Amino acid sequence: MMEDKIVKVLETDTACCSKEELIFSNDKINKRHTHHHKGEKHEHGDDDGHGHSHSMGDHAGAFRLFLPAVISLVLLITAIVLDNLVAQSWFTGGIRVLWYITAYIPVGFPVIKDALKNIGKGEVFSEFFLMTIATIGAFALGEYPEAVAVMLFYAVGEVFQTLAVNRAKNNIKALLDQRPDEATVLRDGQWKTIRAEAAAIGDIIQLKPGEKLALDGILLSETASFNTAALTGESKPDTKLKEETVLAGMINLNTVSQVKVTTAYTDSKLSKILELVQNATRQKAPTELFIRKFAKVYTPIVVLLAIAIWLLPYFFVADYQFNEWLYRALVFLVISCPCALVISIPLGYFGGIGAAGRNGILFKGSNFLDVMATVKNVVMDKTGTLTEGVFKVREIVFKPGFNKEEWLQLINTLESNSTHPVATAIHEYVGEVDQTLELTDTEEIPGHGLKAKVNGKVLLAGNFRLMDMFGITCDVDTVSVTDTIIAVAYDGMFVGYITISDSIKEDAKATVQRLNAMNIRTTMLSGDKSAVVRHVAGELGIQNAFGDLLPGDKVNKVKAMKAGGASVAFVGDGVNDAPVIALCDAGIAMGGLGSDAAIETADVVIQDDKPSKIPVAIEIGKQTKRIVWQNISMAFGVKAIVLILGAGGLATMWEAVFADVGVALLAILNAIRIQRMNFN
């Protein structure tokens, strides 16, 4: 089937694709990046902005694809001229037949070869088989120009399909080319270039201008600017300061920088995202699955119908002409070829996944494009999704008699056992942990806070639910405080509290406005206190907001929404978001700062953590689905009309070519439109 040809096209680049994988394998990805080692030129930026440079080899490859069709076209035009425009006596009989056969071979032989190969595998009814029967039958009837022309146009259509699939595939594969093979690390006081996989956690990487970072780490230099376009779709340079996190795939722009490796090569954010991309096309949309099944049933049916058109009239038509009805049957076969459907539908989904990749969004399968197209409710976490997730200590209030410095040191030591942004904020405010302080039985209570023992007595730091759990009364007016409050208690007594605030992302409000304009209901679910959640929701214009939620509470809220029948997408970034992400029709994870659990559970990953990509993902899903159904309607409509005309003897091979190759080309051109659309 046509799908096998798609695989062949893809195999020419990856040399490792199977029919089921279609595009990606896990181990043999064709990497196109270059490095600055020994004066090599490092090229970035094609017209797609994905860090590729188009070489002359691309044009040469396209020319080679078209060459058989060009040879066949020249021979065919020459033959038609000799037949109709030039008076001569030699272009007759065997010479004429041989000339047309010669014109047929460059485009016909590969199709016949594939038809025989499929028959050997037990797949008799393929479009190769249909085109072979139709054109050989035309030769048998003496319709030599039509036989060559049908196969020629079919071959040209195949080339355009190949080029279109390559383009869609390259857009998707752009992400897979972002990870360098090598890194320059400091070993024994010298800079050495090693395989990136050999770099260890704690190694110092030197990154020259134009080089691409191979592993996640923290910046040791005072400042550095990075191009993250290929990784996130964001063209604006991202300036990082000392101690800030930098991710594999970022390109250093100006000064020589040093980065300390914090994550193994195979565990970097980019590596995990690449694993997801490699499996993206295995998840088929229902429309794709239907068309694949449909083609297997449809093709043998039309072959039987063609035989019926050829033979049955013998019993019912008085002046039955064998050649005339055979010609009608052959026209019917050409028209019925399911190329437009089998190629344009997966190509439409490839295009959708590629367009999303260009915008810094990863769909883990084409089925999730369909899901996103139907989303009616978008549920969002607050911290790290709509807010920066970077907390800062604002106010410290302790009761009289409690030394501020001593208690802050104690709380800092306790919070050092957590990776929560609140713990980071306290650590940045207080400074280094006092190693002389001894805490025992340290425990993190999910959705509540931390507990430990100091001198045999219980120390608590967390939200007011934690205080309620241990029966501690807190005399604090929580309604008037719109910042996050960390309550502290010791030995059953309320000690005081620390307020911490987060800033709203600059594109969060525009995101909510766009979702509302799309008639999508917005909801915020957060474990933060209700006053903070309501304050943020009010600023952004979110329709529903719920705070003081445990992970289980979020799950129950989403279950209630799903019970209403409308599809729900949830956007989150934390480990505690993983259960609700898995529950939703479409789970969306923030891929930059998001936890590995959230990213692995999600169906869609937003690489740059920008909430504005949420409506973009929905719009890409809608456009993809719209294009796919346009192609289905066009293919079925045109084929139905021309099939009826062909069976009635009113359509020739030329109309059949349009119904097959022409419709396929129109469908392909329609499918690749999505790769050029602007969704921002």
pLDDT at 204 over 90: yes
Q: Please report the pLDDT score of residue 326 as a whole number.
A: 85
Question: Of 474, 501, 528, which marks where a domain is finished?
Answer: 501
Render pLDDT for 43-92 as a digit per residue (tens, 0 to 9): 333 433 333 444 445 566 677 888 998 999 999 999 989 988 887 888 88
Q: Say whether both 345 and 414 belong to one domain.
A: no
Number of CB atoms found within 10 A of residue 325's CB: 18
383 within some domain: no
Q: Is residue 295 scored above 80 in pLDDT? A: no
Are 348 and 477 in a shared domain?
Answer: no
Mean pLDDT in the chain? Answer: 78
Quote the pLDDT of residue 290. Answer: 64
The pLDDT-based confidence of 35 (bands split at 50, 70, 90) is very low
- As a whole number, mean pLDDT of residues 598-623 equals 86
* Of the candidate ranges 92-96, 131-135, 220-224, 437-441, the one whose mean pLDDT is the lowest: 131-135
User: Both ends of the chain: CA-CA distance in Å?
Assistant: 37
- Quote the domain boundaries for residue 42: 2-174+280-353+622-676
137 pLDDT higher than 60 = yes
| Residue 94 within any structural domain of the chain | yes
Question: What local confidence, expressed as pLDDT, does residue 392 receive?
Answer: 84
Asked if residue 224 and residue 144 are part of one domain, the reply reads no
Residue 421 confidence (pLDDT) above 90: no
Count the domains in the chain: 3
Answer with the residue of higher pLDDT: 295 or 623. 623
Mention every residue, 6+ apart, whose C-beta is less than 8 A from residue 596: 272
Query: Which residues are the active-site residues?
Result: 381
- Of residues 551 and 282, the one with the higher pLDDT is 551
Alpha carbon of 436 to those of 41, 282, 301, 425, 433: distances in Å? Answer: 53, 54, 82, 21, 9
Do 138 and 197 belong together in one domain? Answer: no
- Residue 273 is assigned to a structural domain of this protein: no
Highest mean pLDDT among 28-42, 197-211, 612-626: 612-626
Answer whether 481's CB lies under 8 Å from 495's CB: no
pLDDT of 172 higher than 60: no
Query: 465 and 479 share a domain?
Result: yes
CATH of the domain at 444: 3.40.1110.10
Which residue did the predictor score with more confidence, 186 or 154?
A: 186
Among candidate residues 448, 474, 501, the one where a domain is terminated? 501
Are residues 562 and 418 in contact, defined by beta-carbon separation less than 8 angstroms? no
Domain annotation covers residue 583: no
Give the model's pLDDT for residue 279. Answer: 53
Q: What is the predicted pLDDT for the residue at 42?
A: 38
DSSP string, 289-309: HHHHHHHHHHHHHHHHHHHHH
**Average pLDDT of 529-547?**
89
Q: What was the pLDDT predicted at 645?
A: 79
Query: For 567-575, what is the mean pLDDT?
Result: 80
For residues 13-24, give the mean pLDDT: 32
Same domain as 451, residue 406: yes
The answer to whether residue 638 is domain-embedded is yes
pLDDT above 70 (res 139): yes
Residue with the bigger pLDDT between 385 and 595: it is: 385
Q: What value does the mean pLDDT take over residues 556-570?
A: 87
Contact 463, 532 (CB under 8 A): no
Whichever domain contains 227, its CATH number is 2.70.150.10
Same domain, residue pair 162 and 186: no
Taking only the tens place, the pLDDT of each residue in 316-331 is 888 888 888 888 888 7
Residue 641 confidence class, pLDDT cut points 50, 70, 90: confident
**Does any domain span residue 567?**
no
What b/e string do you get for 454-481 counting C-beta neighbours within 10 Å, with b at 16 or more?
Answer: beeeebbbbbbbbbeeeebebebebeeb
- What does each C-alpha distance from 27 to 165, 167, 266 come to in angstroms? 21, 22, 12
Whether residue 185 sits in one domain with residue 170 = no
Percent residues over pLDDT 70 in the chain? 79
Residue predicted with more confidence, 577 or 612:
612
Higher pLDDT, 337 or 510: 510
| Residue 380 buriedness (CB in 10 A; 0-12 / 13-18 / 19+) | buried
In this predicted model, which residue has the larger pLDDT, 293 or 114?
114
Highest mean pLDDT among 41-55, 103-117, 169-183, 408-422: 103-117
pLDDT in the model for residue 278:
52
Would you say residue 547 lies in a domain?
no
Residue 563 lies in a domain: no
Indicate the SS3 state at residue 198.
Answer: helix
The set of residues, in sequence order, having a beta carbon less than 8 Å from that of 426 and lying 6+ positions away, is 393, 408, 411, 412, 415, 486, 498, 500
Task: Based on the fold, state whether residues 166 and 257 are members of the same structural domain.
Answer: no
Which residue, of 467, 501, 535, is where some domain finishes? 501
- What pLDDT score was predicted for residue 379? 93
* Over residues 118-126, mean pLDDT: 80
Is the domain of 44 the same as that of 126?
yes
Interval 205-229 mean pLDDT:
85
Whether residues 234 and 293 share a domain: the answer is no
Weakest-pLDDT range from 393-407, 609-623, 636-650: 636-650
Average pLDDT over residues 497-506: 87
Same domain, 301 and 156: yes
Question: What pLDDT does 102 receive?
Answer: 95
Q: How high is the pLDDT of residue 624? A: 92
Mean pLDDT value of segment 538-552: 87
CA 128/CA 111 separation, integer angstroms = 5
* Better-predicted residue by pLDDT, 272 or 506: 506
